[in-house]
Amino acid sequence: MAVAAESTPTRRPVSLKREIGLISMLWASVGSIIGSGWLFGAQKGLLAAGPAAVISWVVGGVAILILALVHAELGAMYPVSGGSARFPHYAFGGAAGASFGWFSWLQAATVAPIEVSAMINYATHYSFAHGWLHPNATLSPSGLVVAIVLMAIISSINFLGIRALALTNSTATWWKVAVPLLTIFVVAIFGGMHWSNLHAADGFAPAGAKGVLAAVSTSGIIFSYLGFEQADQLAGESRNPKRDIPVAVIGSILIGFVVYVALQIVFLLALPADAIGPTWATVGNGLYSAFTGPWAQLASLLALGWLAAILYFDAIVSPGGTGLIYTAASSRVSYGLSRNGYVPEAFERLSNRGVPWVGVVAAFVVGCICFLPFPSWQSLVGLITSASVLMYAGAPLSFGVFRKRLPHVERPYRLPAGELFAPLAFIVSGLIILWSGWTTDWKLGVAILLGYAILVISRVLHLNSHKPVLQWRAAQWLPVYLIGLGVIVYLSPYGPLKTPVIPLWWDMAVTAVFSLVIYYWALAVALPTEQIEEMINEVVLPEEETVV
């Protein structure tokens, strides 16, 4: 039985149960990576970059792997629930911790609704679901009702506890991995490979380098790779976190990379010539561009009806499994935010199965609200991508601080050349946000301001008895980073200006230099060693020592 490890006069003892093994940890990350992204990513990649989308998948995979390597060391060092939201708190104090915690929660809570949107999109193949979407692929009133019901089912399964969730997700993930592999093999062998497609329509890279890089953020490529951090988020419930977290984080990215690159190549080469129009980008010119269920409709076009049937079923299992694990993750992030004193203390309440049930309910409510301003799969992709990499940006900063301030702390996994990888990972985060474009990034800015309003209300109304010191000095770089990055995006080719102030390639150089300035500035003003150790000893160590 789990023993509560922390109790103070004002905070009741709470603890999560360490019940998850290596395979479940690995599958938590893999199951999050292989969700609705594989069902749509290959088609959206072609629309954005043409055949050069293959390059986009490689660029996206390498970028995410760099970020994942940093998370692997941090997660093994301090295996706490909601880890990616909490590392910046220990390195930079309350102001930065609250900010990155909100970025993390925003990302996790918005994934379940996009997975539900994917399920509905593919379901319209069946006659009973024809009225669920409008012609522009947004939810109709009846589709909105179905979406809310699906969100309720996903949330309900989370109430069964982490052991039941891990078993459900592990079972679903075996299926989720098997179906894309089956699809790659069958379509490649029986659908035929048309190598001339590499130069069909308006060429291999019709939008040039800008299109290739924009596709990384806007067509679902980075979104598809998201999820490796689930092992960090569930670290507080791992039986052997110091061994399992690095394996789960790095292994999940490698599996996802191989699967997604192969999917893009096969989808591109299997398209019949009459399914491709005069251009890759213009929806309606080619049959493939109008697909609402791309892989299943391609299978039907290739007379592989049995495979199409499997894919329509998988369109329920794959997104549903990802929605399950992200709902769990969002509740653990809110749990961690409450432990740090940022959000109401109610989020620490556990059910008799050890589930942070208030966080599950909050994720359900916010997920349902998301269907109103973002009623389609495509409309949510950019926001989630930008929020995710903004959350990821906290890890390389924390990594650099821990290497500098805590050089002698045990590191079960030590990243080789970490002093180079950490700033590189921070630069990568900035580049992905740049490539997301102004249309997406200004909406992210509004969401960030909304989060700050919530955090202020919680503090002003005394909804949490723990009052963390905000340590503004250690977070002085954060507003400069957020505003400065927004200005760079606005002035770049990815902004709204007809004539960009910062030309292509120069915009990436400016982003890189700006990111390095912020990175070393943040390290210089981070909390001193004594304060970091004090916070870690108060919260992290008791959670590490929780036993089953």
Residues 6+ apart with CB under 8 A from 416: none
Using pLDDT thresholds of 50, 70 and 90, give the confidence band for residue 35: confident
Contact call for residues 254 and 94 (beta carbons, < 8 A): no
Contact call for residues 293 and 121 (beta carbons, < 8 A): yes
pLDDT at 248 over 60: yes
Task: Take residue 84 and report the two structure tokens written for it.
Answer: 């990616």
Using pLDDT thresholds of 50, 70 and 90, give the confidence band for residue 12: very low
Q: Which residues pair with 356 in a beta bridge?
A: 350
Q: Is 17 a member of any domain?
A: no
Q: Which residues pair with 238 in a beta bridge?
A: 20
Q: Work out the mean pLDDT of the chain and round it to a whole number.
A: 85
Q: Is 16 a member of any domain?
A: no
pLDDT in tens, 288-320: 877 878 999 999 999 999 999 999 998 888 888
pLDDT at 6 over 70: no
Residues 6+ apart with CB under 8 A from 450: none
Specify the CATH number for the domain of residue 95.
1.20.1740.10
Q: Is 545 a member of any domain?
A: no
Mean pLDDT of 273-301: 83
Q: Is 11 a member of any domain?
A: no
Q: What whole-number percentage of the chain has pLDDT above 70? A: 89
For position 285, what pLDDT does the model report? 64
Q: pTM of the predicted model, to two decimals?
A: 0.80
For position 62, what pLDDT does the model report? 93
Euclidean distance between the first and the last CA atom of the chain, given in angstroms as a whole number:
5
pLDDT at 3 over 60: no
Question: Of 104-108, 126-130, 372-376, 518-522, which gets the smallest average pLDDT?
Answer: 372-376
pLDDT at 234 over 70: no
For position 85, what pLDDT does the model report? 65
pLDDT at 410 over 90: no
Mean pLDDT of 225-249: 75
Total count of domains within the chain: 1
SS3 11: strand
Q: Between these two residues, 224 and 18, which has the higher pLDDT value?
A: 224
pLDDT at 543 over 60: no
Q: Is 49 a member of any domain?
A: yes
Q: 174 phi and psi, to 5 degrees? A: -55, -45
pLDDT in tens, 125-184: 888 888 898 877 788 999 999 999 999 999 988 887 666 666 666 677 788 889 999 999
Q: Which of 25-29, 203-207, 436-440 has the highest mean pLDDT?
A: 203-207
Q: Is 57 a member of any domain?
A: yes
Question: Of 4-13, 46-55, 328-337, which gets the smallest average pLDDT?
Answer: 4-13
For position 464, what pLDDT does the model report? 84
Task: Take residue 332 and report the two structure tokens written for it.
Answer: 């653990």
pLDDT in tens, 482-493: 999 999 999 999
| Helix extents (H) in 124-207 | 141-158, 162-190
User: What type of residue is 508?
Assistant: M
Enumerate helices (H) and strands (E) in the chain, giving the number of each.
22, 0
Mean pLDDT of 472-489: 95
Helices 394-405 & 377-392, crossing angle to 10 degrees?
10
CA-wise closest residue to 269 among 174, 370, 197: 197
For position 13, what pLDDT does the model report? 42
CA-wise closest residue to 120 among 377, 294, 297: 377
Q: What is the DSSP letter of 408?
A: T
Enclosing domain of residue 232: 22-533
Q: Is 3 a member of any domain?
A: no
Q: Between these two residues, 246 and 484, which has the higher pLDDT value?
A: 484
Q: Is 216 a member of any domain?
A: yes
CA-wise closest residue to 315 among 547, 150, 521, 527: 150
